[in-house]
Amino acid sequence: MFNKLKCPYCNSEDCDFYQHYETSQNGIRSLYQCHSCQQIFSETKGSFLEGLRKPVSAIIQVFKARSEGMGLNAACRVFDLAKNTLLDWERRLSGMKDTFMVYALAHTFLSQVIEGDELYTKINKNVPVEDCEGWTIVLMDRASRFIWALDCGKKDRTLFFYAIQILRNVINHTKDVTLVTDGERRYGNLLFEICHEVIRDGRRGRPPKVLRQGIKIRLKNKGKQAPQRGRHRPKYEAPHPEHPQTCQDITNEEVHADHVEAFNASTRRRNAAYRRKTNTYAKQKTSLQRTLDILWIVHNFIRKHFTTQQVPAVALGILDQGLSWEQVLHFRKSAGTCILAA
């Protein structure tokens, strides 16, 4: 559970309240003692707030502004912050993504339809698109709008392979997964490479390879193919053979990536690095990924989606209710726990 108390030193749950102490900016906080290792620790130990004296309310206001599209330099001017201070805060928050991901993957899901698409922006300077590290892969669950993959880099096999590795972890916790994309075949090719099995039916010859049972891949080929030579691909296709016992319950009308494309449009409003015709793009790949990690946390666990009117983690069944900013900032990264503010 997110509110389960554990020792940050030995990960023991045998901890009790020790005493209160007063801070200069954030009121009274609590100390706890672990009976296993006898260590005494603060409620903020291992969390985002460890060692910070800035009022929590002021930090939240800055993150709210950043998550609604304010640029880094603009936020520093408006809130009178040093640039290195804000960068340190964002690095702390983005570093919590892996812990939230582990928690999300600890759940089992019945069925998911995953939409895949790419988003593009410049990094450092304007270079040819094949050399730019600003390509961003998005893998989103259609029903809940929960984002599984949100990673940037060059548009090559490494970037796609990393996203499909995350999808494989999702498949291991889901009985029925459908991946739909708009024209990009590398999603399906890599997924087939990773998640296939051999059907041995006793017939002579080499046994065929098919996707694992319950996995479906659907591809929508967009655009006109008249100028192309050779065989024309159908508009809707299953590019790889599927398991004969996989339920075929998806229609051609459902093969699209409209929801993830709508998310891409909102990302251009809420992340200054993706705005068109400006010079606010990221200076480094690590800087862009830092903002994406924060966006991943905010989108999945804090902000209600405009269409579903639910926090995606709640819609997917990971949480009973969405998290507040204070709960996220109190989340203890080291032990994978969170102490909620009183």
Could you read off the pLDDT of 1-23 as tens digits, one per residue? Answer: 455 778 888 888 888 888 998 88
- What local confidence, expressed as pLDDT, does residue 302 receive? 95
- What local confidence, expressed as pLDDT, does residue 225 receive? 64
Structure tokens at 212: 């694992």
Task: Please say whether the beta carbons of 154 and 315 come within 8 A.
Answer: no
Judged against a pLDDT cut of 80, whether residue 263 lies above it is answered with yes
Report helix, strand or coil for 114. strand
33: Cβ–Cβ under 8 A, 6 or more apart, which residues?
Answer: 15, 16, 18, 39, 40, 41
Provide mean pLDDT across the span 147-158.
Answer: 94
Q: How far apart are CA 114 and CA 145, in angstroms?
A: 9
Express as a percent the part of the chain with pLDDT over 70.
93
Q: How far apart are CA 112 and CA 214, in angstroms?
A: 10
Residue 227 pLDDT class (50, 70, 90 cuts) = low
Question: In which residue are the tokens 């290792």 written?
Answer: 37
- Dihedral sign from CA coordinates of 206, 167, 133, 279: positive
Question: In which residue are the tokens 């666990």 written?
Answer: 301
Residue 328 pLDDT class (50, 70, 90 cuts) = very high
Judged against a pLDDT cut of 80, whether residue 229 lies above it is answered with no
Judged against a pLDDT cut of 50, whether residue 335 lies above it is answered with no
**Average confidence score pLDDT of the chain:** 88
Q: How many CA atoms lie within 13 A of 61 on its CB side?
A: 11
Helix (H) or strand (E) holding 89: helix 83-94
Helix (H) or strand (E) holding 86: helix 83-94
Q: How many CB atoms lie within 10 A of CB 40?
A: 13
CA-nearest of 124, 185, 114, 115 to 155 is: 185
Q: What is the pLDDT of residues 48-57, one digit of tens each?
A: 888 888 999 9
Strand partners, 32: 17, 41
Q: How many CB atoms lie within 10 A of CB 250?
A: 15
Judged against a pLDDT cut of 60, whether residue 174 lies above it is answered with yes
CA-nearest of 4, 274, 29, 63 to 150 is: 274
Q: How many CB atoms lie within 10 A of CB 273?
A: 24
The one-letter code for the residue type at 270 is R
